[in-house]
């Protein structure tokens, strides 16, 4: 004999508050709410799949531009200043410039060199941060693609993507997703529209 148990959700506050509560006192079938959550998750998965592809394309382009423009230029300037420093020392060692001029030039070159090294390190840090952000985004979008083929709501889906579900009335359900802010940031950052 097969016995099925119907599950219902209700607002505990509404029950405790009685007539003074503004919460709905209805019992809502779990399968209806879970259906709403599943449909919303499917939409989110499609959006994340789309965003993931766009972000990946733009990430590759940005990394190429970054490497070519910033670090290579800074590395060349650093190499040039180091060579100039060596030439200054050689001129001093050969007696072509006085000690005061040499020390002054050496200090000026060292200061410029330190500024360029700091700029290069900052550029490298920005690249590392972009890669870290991209990897986080990729992890979320890959997970969304993995769940995209599912035919029903699973605990893993809910745990991975749903922060909380608010049920106000049978017709008014609000689902707060864990990655809502990140999705908005991705869309703004990469100037994407869905």
Domains and CATH numbers, the chain: 8-189 (1.10.287)
Is residue 114 scored above 60 in pLDDT? yes
Identify the pLDDT of residue 101. Answer: 92
Q: What pTM was estimated for this model as a whole? A: 0.63
Which token pair is 20? 């003074």
Identify the pLDDT of residue 110. Answer: 94
Q: Which residues are CB-neighbours of 134 under 8 A, at least 6 positions away?
A: 55, 56, 59
- For 169-182, the pLDDT digits (tens) are 777 788 888 877 77
Segment 69-74 long-range contacts (CB within 8 Å, at least 24 positions apart) = 70/120, 70/123, 71/120, 71/123, 71/124, 71/127, 74/116, 74/119, 74/120, 74/123
Identify the pLDDT of residue 131. Answer: 82
- For 30-63, the pLDDT digits (tens) are 788 888 889 889 988 888 888 888 878 877 777 7
CA-closest candidate to residue 30, choices 176, 173, 163, 162? 173
Question: Span 82-90, mean pLDDT?
Answer: 93
Query: Can you tell me the distance from the alpha carbon of 150 to that of 41, in angstroms, rounded to the nearest whole number?
Result: 11
Identify the pLDDT of residue 1. Answer: 43
Confirm if 54 and 192 have CB atoms less than 8 A apart: yes
CA-closest candidate to residue 48, choices 145, 113, 167? 145
Highest mean pLDDT among 101-115, 130-144, 152-166: 101-115
Is residue 185 scored above 70 in pLDDT? yes
Share of the chain above pLDDT 90, in %: 23
Segment 106-113 long-range contacts (CB within 8 Å, at least 24 positions apart) = 109/81, 109/84, 109/85, 110/85, 112/81, 113/78, 113/81, 113/82, 113/85
């Amino acid at each position: 004999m097969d016995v099925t148990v119907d599950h219902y959700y209700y607002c505990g506050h509404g029950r405790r508050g009685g007539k003074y509560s503004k919460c709905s006192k209805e019992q809502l079938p779990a399968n209806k709410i879970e259906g709403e959550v599943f449909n919303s998750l499917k939409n989110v998965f499609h959006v994340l799949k789309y965003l993931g592809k766009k972000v990946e394309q733009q990430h590759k382009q940005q990394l190429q531009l970054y490497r070519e423009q910033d670090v290579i230029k800074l590395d060349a300037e650093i190499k040039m200043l180091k060579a100039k420093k060596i030439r200054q020392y050689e001129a001093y060692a050969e007696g072509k410039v006085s000690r005061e001029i040499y020390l002054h030039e050496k200090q000026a070159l060292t200061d410029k060199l330190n500024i360029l090294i700091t700029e290069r390190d900052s550029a490298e840090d920005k690249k590392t941060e972009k890669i870290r952000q991209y990897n986080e985004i990729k992890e979320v979008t890959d997970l969304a693609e993995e769940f995209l083929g599912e035919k029903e709501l699973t605990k893993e889906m809910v745990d991975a993507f749903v922060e909380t579900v608010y049920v106000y009335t049978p017709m008014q359900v609000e689902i707060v997703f864990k990655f809502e802010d990140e999705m908005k940031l991705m869309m703004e950052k990469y100037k994407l529209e869905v």
